[in-house]
């Protein structure tokens, strides 16, 4: 198996498990030099900071995907706790507003090791009708663009977005602003419930910085081999 050693892996494996043991088994089969890990609400609510610590002790960078959305003081406190936990990336909803995002950034700026602070613009599960129902005007893309600019202006490091939004955002925001994209499927992987998908190589070619990939790796018979296949696609 060809191994592409990297200290800055682009692939973030989504640990979407109901139980801790398959997640811990999986991470023993992966390699922190080759991928980072995303821990979301399900596993964090069940297994908490101890679970995250188990992963960081194994050398993995953690994207704590809790999508904070609350008053500025509370979100700042959540971000501070995430920084103390030693996570690599944390996220907040841009719809929480400029003051909330600035409070989050200021809290992280004071931390010894500063996690990347990422915004969620419009959830990709929301279409035109959904955003109208919550009182937003314009198209989902208009709102994504506006909220990404607001997030950049508030000092965030990037946003999570659909691969289909990357090209548009790359024309709008600065080159350093990170774009993190789920909805990634290599040509050889099952689509599952994802519909608007992009291959890893296409997502990177469009300008994505980090790829959130779950089942193509976690459900593979050999997860490390699946990761290597994706790395080779990215390299070649
Ligand atoms: O298994 P799969 O590759 O589809 O997993 C994608 C991960 O990215 C999941 O954790 C999912 O919740 C997350 N995600 C997504 N689409 C979004 C935001 C997050 O698929 N718009």
Query: Mean pLDDT across the stretch 90-94?
Result: 98
Examine residue 2 and state whether it is found in any structural domain, yes or no: no
Cα–Cα distance between 87 and 114 in angstroms, integer?
9
Query: Residue 221 pLDDT more than 60?
Result: yes
Examine residue 5 and state whether it is found in any structural domain, yes or no: no
| Amino acid 6: pLDDT | 52
Give the nearest ligand 1 atom to 218 CA.
1
Boundaries of domain holding 195: 11-235
Question: How would residue 232 be classed by pLDDT, with cut points 50, 70 and 90?
Answer: very high
Residues with Cβ within 8 Å of residue 214, at least 6 apart in sequence: 13, 14, 16, 182
What would the pLDDT profile of 119-145 be if each residue is shown by its tens digit? 999 998 999 999 999 999 999 999 999
Examine residue 162 and state whether it is found in any structural domain, yes or no: yes
How far, in Å, are 83, 98, 224, 226 from residue 116 at the CA level? 9, 17, 26, 27
Give the nearest ligand 1 atom to 185 CA.
3
CATH number at residue 98: 3.20.20.70
Secondary structure percentages of the chain, helix, strand, coil, to 5? 45, 15, 35
Residue labelled with tokens 């030099």: 33
Examine residue 1 and state whether it is found in any structural domain, yes or no: no
Burial class (CB in 10 A: 0-12, 13-18, 19+), 118: buried
Closest Cα to atom 8, ligand 1: which residue? 182
Tell me, in angstroms, the distance from the centre of ligand 1 to residue 16's CA.
Answer: 9
Coil, strand, or helix at residue 110?
Answer: coil
| Amino acid 195: pLDDT | 85
What would the pLDDT profile of 3-45 be if each residue is shown by its tens digit? 444 568 999 999 999 999 999 999 999 999 999 999 999 999 9
Tell me, in angstroms, the distance from the centre of ligand 1 to residue 110's CA.
Answer: 30
Give the nearest ligand 1 atom to 123 CA.
21
Query: Mean pLDDT across the stretch 67-87?
Result: 98
Give the nearest ligand 1 atom to 215 CA.
1
Cα–Cα distance between 6 and 33 in angstroms, integer?
6
Query: Residue 2 pLDDT more than 60?
Result: no
**Nearest CA to 210 among 29, 62, 66?**
62
Tell me, in angstroms, the distance from the centre of ligand 1 to residue 188's CA.
Answer: 18
Ligand 1 neighbours, Cβ below 6 Å, are 14, 16, 40, 123-124, 182-183, 192, 194, 212-215
Examine residue 168 and state whether it is found in any structural domain, yes or no: yes
Examine residue 17 and state whether it is found in any structural domain, yes or no: yes
Examine residue 89 and state whether it is found in any structural domain, yes or no: yes
| Amino acid 8: pLDDT | 84
pTM of this structure: 0.95
Tell me, in angstroms, the distance from the centre of ligand 1 to residue 194's CA.
Answer: 8
Instruction: Tell me how many helices (H) and strands (E) the chain has.
Output: 10, 8
Closest Cα to atom 14, ligand 1: which residue? 182
Number of domains present in the structure of the chain: 1
Q: Is the alpha carbon torsion for 199, 200, 206, 210 positive or negative?
A: positive
Cα–Cα distance between 72 and 70 in angstroms, integer?
6
- Active-site residue numbers? 67
What would the pLDDT profile of 162-213 be if each residue is shown by its tens digit? 999 999 999 999 999 999 999 999 999 999 998 889 999 999 999 999 999 9
Examine residue 201 and state whether it is found in any structural domain, yes or no: yes
């Amino acid at each position: 198996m060809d191994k592409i050693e990297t200290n800055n892996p682009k692939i973030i494996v989504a640990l979407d498990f109901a139980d801790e043991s398959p997640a811990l088994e999986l991470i023993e089969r992966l390699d922190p030099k080759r991928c980072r890990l995303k821990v979301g609400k399900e596993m964090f609510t069940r297994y908490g900071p101890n679970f995250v610590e188990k992963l960081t002790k194994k050398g993995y960078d953690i994207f704590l995907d809790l999508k904070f959305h609350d008053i500025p003081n509370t979100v700042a406190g959540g971000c501070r706790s995430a920084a103390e936990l030693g996570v690599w990336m944390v996220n907040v909803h841009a719809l929480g507003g400029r003051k909330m995002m600035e409070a989050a950034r200021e809290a992280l700026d004071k931390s010894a090791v500063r996690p990347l602070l990422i915004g969620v613009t419009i959830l990709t599960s929301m279409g035109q009708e959904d955003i109208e129902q919550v009182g937003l005007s314009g198209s989902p893309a208009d709102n994504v663009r506006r909220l990404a600019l607001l997030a950049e202006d508030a000092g965030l490091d990037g946003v999570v977005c659909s691969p289909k939004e990357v090209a548009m955002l790359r024309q709008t925001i600065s080159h350093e602003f990170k774009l993190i994209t789920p909805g990634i499927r290599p040509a050889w992987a099952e689509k599952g419930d994802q519909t608007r998908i992009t291959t890893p190589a296409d997502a990177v070619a469009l300008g994505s910085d980090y790829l959130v990939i779950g089942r193509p790796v976690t459900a593979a018979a050999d997860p490390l081999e699946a990761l290597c296949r994706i790395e080779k696609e990215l390299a070649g």
